[in-house]
């Protein structure tokens, strides 16, 4: 018998404030057409004043628990992927733990920027397959609106806030790729490229800083690395592109999404796209897109789902699961 980490619940949360592209025209030399043509983004959500990453993550977690028909007391661990935790410490995951009323188990943050959820999934999978936990709440939550340079039109129009969550549960499998659950994962990083995407603040500077990005260079790395990691996970799972029902990519830029699908040899009809409505929500983008795809009736039980993402570090990774 093989233990698999199977998705039993999913949910998401988006802040109430919706910011259309046209809103940026008031303060920046930009336009709705310019933003759409370069990124595919039409709108995004921004957290309200006083609304934190742990608040967003808690609401997504509550939605996932409701979908699974579970209580917080049924959860053994929380793994939160985020680069915008409420405080330096303690972890935002422990804040979510408290807000959910979960008084047992453990919770921790994982930081791999936009690749965060593709790093959190193998972490949670390992907790389950090693017997450390039976049910793990895996969350991606971000408030990137708090680290924007509002005078940089090349970056501030791209990002949004939000959260998504899945619950993984230990279930018996055969060890074959016909099992439901996480089938394979892949994680990578290369610190030589840290200057391509970073925040110019932190403990060493004494200030929170703002996001800096060399967009063209990130794009140059993205398609090749995303297709490469997705293929690696498929190979590890003993699957091919013909087996794929859905690709759920990091929602950073429609051109990256399209380029990666083409390199994988898959049509856009097999890709879940939400970048137009959410913008780039970093570690939250994949679980958000998963949840939207599931709620819209696209992702169904038994489907093979490929997730892939790249972010600052550079860090990139993927996961393949059977829904």
The catalytic residue positions are 114, 250, 280
Q: How far apart are CA 83 and CA 141, in angstroms?
A: 8
CA dist., res. 127 & res. 156, Å (int):
36
Measured over the CA atoms of residue 265, residue 256, residue 299 and residue 65, the dihedral's sign is positive
State how beta strands 246-249 and 17-20 pair. Answer: unpaired
Residue among 207, 81, 52, 58 nearest 145 (CA): 52
C-alpha–C-alpha distance, residues 316 and 323, integer Å: 22
> Looking at the DSSP assignment, which residues form a beta bridge with residue 20?
43
DSSP assignment, residue 154? T
Return the beta strands (E) in the chain as ranges.
Answer: 2-13, 17-20, 43-46, 77-81, 106-110, 135-143, 161-173, 181-189, 197-199, 211-213, 246-249, 304-311, 315-322
Kindly report the number of other CB atoms within 10 A of residue 212's CB atom.
15
Helix (H) or strand (E) holding 35: helix 32-39
284, 141 Cβ separation under 8 angstroms: yes
CB-count exposure of residue 174 (10 Å: 0-12, 13-18, 19+)? exposed
> Is the Cβ–Cβ distance between 171 and 6 less than 8 Å?
yes
| Burial grade of 193 (CB within 10 A; 0-12, 13-18, 19 or more) | middle
């Amino acid at each position: 018998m093989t233990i698999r980490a199977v998705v039993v619940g999913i949910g998401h949360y988006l802040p109430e404030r919706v910011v259309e592209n046209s809103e940026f025209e008031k303060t920046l030399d930009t336009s709705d057409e310019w933003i759409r043509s370069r990124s595919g983004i039409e709108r995004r959500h921004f957290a309200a004043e006083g609304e934190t990453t742990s608040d967003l993550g808690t609401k997504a977690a509550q939605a996932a628990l409701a979908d699974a028909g579970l209580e917080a007391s049924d959860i053994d661990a929380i793994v939160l992927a985020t680069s915008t935790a409420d405080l330096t410490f303690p972890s935002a995951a422990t804040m979510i733990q408290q807000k959910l009323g979960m008084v047992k188990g453990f919770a921790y943050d994982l930081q791999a920027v936009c690749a965060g959820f593709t790093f959190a999934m193998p972490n949670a999978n390992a907790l389950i397959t090693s017997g450390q936990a039976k049910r793990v709440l895996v969350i991606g939550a971000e408030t990137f609106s708090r680290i924007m340079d509002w005078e940089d039109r090349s970056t501030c129009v791209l990002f949004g806030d939000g959260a998504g969550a899945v619950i993984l549960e230990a279930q018996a499998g055969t060890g074959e790729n016909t099992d439901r659950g996480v089938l394979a994962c892949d994680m990578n990083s290369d610190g030589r490229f840290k200057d391509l995407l970073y925040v110019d603040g932190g403990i060493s500077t004494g200030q929170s800083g703002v996001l800096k990005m060399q967009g063209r260079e990130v794009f140059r790395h993205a398609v090749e690395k995303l297709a490469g990691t997705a293929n690696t996970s498929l190979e590890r799972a003993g699957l091919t592109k013909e087996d794929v029902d859905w690709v759920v990519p990091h929602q950073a830029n429609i051109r990256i999404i399209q380029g990666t699908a083409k390199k994988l040899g898959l049509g856009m009809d097999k890709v879940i796209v939400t970048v137009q409505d959410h913008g780039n929500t970093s570690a939250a983008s994949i679980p958000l897109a998963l949840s939207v795809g599931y709620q819209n009736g696209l992702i169904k039980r038994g489907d093979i789902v490929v997730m892939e993402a790249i972010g600052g570090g550079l860090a990139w990774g993927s996961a393949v699961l059977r829904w």
